[in-house]
Structure 1
Amino acid sequence: MFDTLIKFFNFCNAENRHKFYGSIIVGIFNSFFMALRIGAMAVMLQGVIRHVQGEAPFTMDTVWLSLGIMVASLIGATVTKRVMSMWQTEGGYRTCASKRIEIAEHLRYLPMGYFNKNSLGYITSVTTNTMEQLGDVATRVVMMVTQGILDTVLIIVMIAFFDWRIAIVATIGFAIFQFINTLMRMNVRAVSHEKVESDSKVVEKVLEYIQGIAEVKAYNMTGKRSKELNEIIDRNTSANIGMELKCVPLSNLQTFVAKLTGVAIMMFSIHFYLNGSMELANCAVMLVCSFMLFAALELGGSYAALLRAVDISVNRANDILNKPTMDIDGEDIAPANHDIKADTIDFAYDKRKIIDNVTLSIPEKTTTAIVGPSGSGKTTLCHLLSRFWDVNAGSVTLGGRRVQDYSMDSLMKNFSFVFQNVYLFRDTIENNIKFGNPSATHEQVVEAAKKACCHDFIEKLPDGYNTVIGEGGASLSGGERQRISIARAIMKDSPVIILDEATANVDPENERDLMLAIQELTREKTVIMIAHRLKTVRHADQIVVLDKGRIVEQGKHEELVKNGGIYARFIDSRREAVSWKL
């Protein structure tokens, strides 16, 4: 149990950890003030019993003393409870928020290959379900267990002031209770991992179902996909019920031991009174303490079984945070020029080689077109040049310095990207454009939109630049999304532009505006483009033809056409496709 508590506290950052430590210290005072009720009752009971027995008169001084202790207990317990709860709540939710941000920052610097191996559902589950459990449930579990133990220990200490024999009985009951609690947590360990994994699978499957709903409907697979989703949900239900069923028998035994401890305190107290070794007043106080001890044991024990889920949740978050990032601790370098060179670079996914011994030089302010069959490594090469991945062998340089020498942020300042599949955030159009420069003014946003040929259609939207678009830009056409993406790149104003088939899925009506936007974006820039359309390739300063990860041809359009190789066949096939009519 304590190893889980320590792991949870270490998981929190320093500020929030201190809030939890502070709440535990305040909790000690809270337990003390709660235990003062025993003293208040003892004063009152002793006064009443001595008056009944004729030993001493019952005066108002006794009443005022008992009332004073009770009021001090009430005020102290209320104040400390409020402070303790506020610190726990702030620590929990701020830990959740800071860890989500920390995970997001960490993901920025992971190799792109990580996202190929791990589904969106897993990452989403960790940043939503897992963080929610840690920020809400885990905080309550940890602090309830801690407070329950503190209350129990202080009540036993207070009992010891009245009778050490009863304190021993209470201690034995507490030890047995904790032993059963340990058995329950060990029993839950086997199913808690399954429960957390099942929660993750539900998120993954729901995301997959929603994201692929168009394909599911188009291929009439609604029933099958619904069945798979329902099966995942049913397994999740079974996992949650199974975890509860594992707890119930031992939880009931735990409750029985807590009650039995209270009964034992009563029986021994009455026995000691009857044999004359305990005063009646103390006996009455012990009878009341037996109920208070039961409540304290229940507070700590009822939540302890969930500590294993806390342990797993921390492990899942740490699993992402402990993934090795790319070496990002380089220098903040401003390159003297923006020449890009790849020197005999290799790269492989697992054991499958994608880029094989590629050497390439891209002078500053020139346009390089990369063409080749599907799967030839075009996108991967662009990712290596911009250090989305690190090469397995060879080197990539920008301005004569290895890209690994740059800090990641200073390197990314030099690159802007326009991808075939544009992702826009669920936010206003203005904020989506300002993603390339968050500090930009509205006037700068409008200027960038005009250059990207998207100002006119934005103005026609219901709220203009303040129109909130759907996640992924679903409420806009493909061409409109592309032009907003270009406006975003114009706003960033990086010296190197990478266009990954930016015009591949654009309809003829939007193509003219899109080409004008690209011309504006790429003016006086170093341009690397992946393209299938002849008009976007033929005027490039150099054309690089990839096949099976190797450069098989390189040169200008006219030279490559004369060579009659892969590029010439590519051009012929495109001409045939353009000339084909229905």
Structure 2
Amino acid sequence: MIGTAEELMGSSSGMRGQIVWFALAGVAQGGVFAALLPLLRALLSGDTGGALPWLAVAAGCAVLSALLLWHAANTGYVVGIERIGDRLARRIGEHVVRLPLGWFTAGRAGRLARLTSTSVQDVTGIPSTLLQQIVMAVATPVTVIVVTFFVDWRMGLALVVTAPVALAVFAWVSRVLRDTHGPEDHAHAEVTDRVVEFAQAQQVLRAAGRTEEGWTTLDRALAGHRDAYLHKLGRASRPFGVYVLVVELGFATIMVMGTYLALGGSLRVPDAIAVLILAARFVEPLIQAGDLGGMFRIARVSLDAIGEVMHAKPLPTVSEGPIPADATVELDDVSFGYGERRVLDGFTLRCPPGTVTALVGPSGAGKTTVTRLVARFWDVDSGAVRIGGVDVRELPTADLMSRLALVFQDVYLFDGTIEENVRLGRPDATDAEVRRAAEAARLDEVVARLGAGWETRVGEGGSRLSGGERQRVSIARAVLKDAPIVLLDEATAALDAENEVAVSAAIAELARDRTVLVIAHRLSTVAAADQIAVLDGGRIAELGTHGELLAGGGRYARFWDERKRAAGWRLAAS
């Protein structure tokens, strides 16, 4: 377990040093009981003066054990919190930001939150709590066995036989319970996901009058966690009971044997009393070890959960790369799929610098995937994605992202002020530059009517702003970034008339003198594009200007006719 933790940390944990300190404390604690033998001999023979030195030895061992334990425990907290916890959290953060953006699915949000809180916290408790009890559970009994051999070899041998039997049963219990914590941990993570989902979906659920269905989903997750937890308890109780029974039977055997030897005269009464006290101290940590097994498995599951994330492969990166010649975007014979589902197959498209390319096609045709591949959310299965003639895999991540501005339908805003969210595009921008970007995105109109102006807090995910207002913040962020390439998923279909006009004007401003790859929903955007790519079956079915594709009478012409007819629909009173 220590090796696994250090592998995940990428450095020494300091836990091996903790083992030494706890072992010394355990030996000193065993010394307290070792001093009982001569102490009892002296007291039972009436030699009070001879008992005092041994009493001092016992007291000294007790004080030494307490001091060693105090030092080791306090050091353990420092090691656990400042070295292991801090290092793991930083390593997780450093690794997560290198993972492909496609890794961040909705289901991983709750799991990542649980990982960085509960799982890391479980691991930080290893050096201060778990190691202490494990090492003490071994060091003290071993010391007791050694001392017992000096008293009577037969009793010492009985303890030696009891220990491996108890350990064998403990190993069996651990094997039986090995798989019980994993399902419970996954069920807990599922509850976390559903709680987050339930909170975020309140507006949608209430608007649709389906809050009961939302609660039912969460209730199923809670019930699943309850069942997993009860299953874990049921699986654990019986094996643990067997383990305690075996240990107690071993202790009873030692008591019977000691009594028999004392009554037979081959073991002096003071020695028999001392051995029985030592046997009780020997058994106590063995019983506690049963509880430690559960703690150990929890720490193991937490390490496995952290390892699952840390072993997720990041996209290969380079520290230096060639400089793209211009803002050309090119996908060359690209094939890509999600698992077994092929989305793009032999896809080829070239977007010259300073032009607008509109992607149209049925749902699931791969339009969003194309923009994600340009931003390198994933790497292609085959083929290449190039910017300015350079494969995106040969560009440092920071260099690639500095050339891209992303505006997608699902706009996420951080729980800060409007200005803070806009400044994410370029944190070192001046106030004047931020204001110009806001004006270009028509965000200044929104700021003007808000009481706190630029200091207005947007809420988690931008929940205090409307969809159109969130879009304007996102566009302002992209304008401020001033990247030469814009990847845009047009979201005007769900906006009111005022916001649609404002957002459309903002998009037009954003697209000026830039290479734009847009997933187009508005007919005006499609018609005004320099080239239109019609996607179907993972490939480009048609490519050309609006006039060329209409004249061709193919898929695009049919698409245009259908959209024109739909655009003419009106609600009429009956």
Task: State the alpha-carbon separation in 1 of the partners of residues 121 and 458 from structure 2.
Answer: 30
The residue number in structure 1 matching 2:75 is: 83
CA contact (8 A) 1:26 1:84 kept: no
**Alignment-mate amino acid for residue 157 of structure 2:** I
Return closer, same or farther for 1:314/1:505 CA change in 2, 3 Å cut-off: same
- The aligned residue for residue 178 of structure 1 is 167
* Aligned counterparts of 1:439 and 1:153: Cα–Cα separation in 2: 64
Q: Does 1:389 align with 2:378?
A: yes
Judge which range, 389-398 or 226-235, deviates more.
226-235
- Given that 1:397 and 1:403 are in contact with CA atoms closer than 8 Å, whether structure 2 keeps it comes out as yes
Q: TM-score, normalised by structure 1?
A: 0.84
Letter in 1 for 2:100: Y
- What's the counterpart of residue 35 of structure 1? 30
Q: Summarize deviations over 1:154-197 as a string: whole Å, max 9, x none.
A: 33334445444333222222222212212222222354443334
Residue 9 of structure 2 is aligned to residue 13 of structure 1: yes
Give 2:423's aligned residue. 434
TM-score, with length taken from structure 2: 0.85
Change in 2 beyond 3 A, CA 1:469/1:282: farther
* Aligned mate of 1:527, from 516, 521, 524: 516
Given that 2:334 and 2:380 are in contact with CA atoms closer than 8 Å, whether structure 1 keeps it comes out as yes
Alignment of 1:105-504 (within 5 A): 105-106=97-98, 108-109=99-100, 112=102, 120-122=106-108, 124-125=110-111, 127-128=113-114, 132-133=118-119, 135-136=121-122, 139=126, 140-141=129-130, 144-213=133-202, 216=205, 222-223=211-212, 226-227=215-216, 229-278=218-267, 280-329=269-318, 331-350=320-339, 352-438=341-427, 445-446=434-435, 448-458=437-447, 461=450, 463-504=452-493
Hey, what's the Cα distance between the residues in 1 that align with 2:254 and 2:417? 67
One-letter code of the match for 1:93? G
% identical aligned pairs: 30
Whole-angstrom distance in 1 between the partners of 2:348 and 2:305: 41
Give the AA of the match of 1:28.
A
In 2: Cα distance, 1:499 partner to 1:222 partner: 33
Q: What's the counterpart of residue 65 of structure 2? A: 73
CA gap 1:578/1:247 in 2 versus in 1, 3 angstroms: closer
Change (3 A) 1:265 1:217: same
CA contact (8 A) 1:368 1:540 kept: yes
Letter in 1 for 2:278: C
8 A Cα contact 2:149 2:155, kept in partner: yes
Structure 1's 327 and 504: CA in aligned 2 closer, same or farther, altered over 3 A?
A: farther
Number of the residue aligned with 1:94: 86
Deviation at 1:496, TM superposition (A): 0.9
For the residue of structure 2 that corresponds to 1:436, the secondary structure is coil
Contact 1:24–1:84 (8 Å) recurs in 2: no
Q: Which amino acid aligns with 1:419?
A: F
CA contact (8 A) 2:35 2:54 kept: no
Which residue of 19, 22, 31 corresponds with 1:24? 19
Moved more, 354-363 or 418-427: 354-363
Cα displacement (A) at 1:500: 1.0
Task: Report how far residue 289 of structure 1 moved.
Answer: 2.1
Change (3 A) 1:121 1:348: closer
> Closer, same or farther in 2 for the Cα pair 1:303/1:544, shift >3 Å?
same
- TM-align CA RMSD: 3.5
- In structure 1, runs of 5+ residues without a counterpart are none
> How far is the alpha carbon of 1:226 from its aligned partner?
4.2
Partner Cα separation in structure 1 for residue 286 and residue 40 of structure 2: 25
**SS of match in other structure, 2:473:** helix
Which whole-Å deviations, capped at 9, do the CAs of 1:196-218 have from their partners, x for residues lacking one?
34334433444454555555556
Change (3 A) 1:555 1:86: same
Tell me the CA shift for residue 476 of structure 1. Answer: 0.6
Question: Is the Cα–Cα contact under 8 Å of residues 147 and 300 in structure 1 kept in the other structure?
Answer: no
Q: Does 409-418 or 450-459 show the bigger shift?
A: 450-459
Query: CA 1:76/1:23 → structure 2, altered by over 3 Å: closer, same or farther?
Result: closer
How many residues are paired up? Answer: 568
User: Secondary structure, in 3 states, of the residue corresponding to 1:554?
Assistant: strand
Mark the CA change 1:102 to 1:57 in structure 2 (over 3 Å): closer, same or farther: same
Q: Kindly indicate whether the alpha-carbon contact (under 8 Å) linking 1:434 and 1:440 is maintained by their aligned counterparts in 2.
A: yes
Q: What is the Cα deviation at residue 327 of structure 1? A: 3.4
Cα deviation, residue 269, structure 1: 4.1
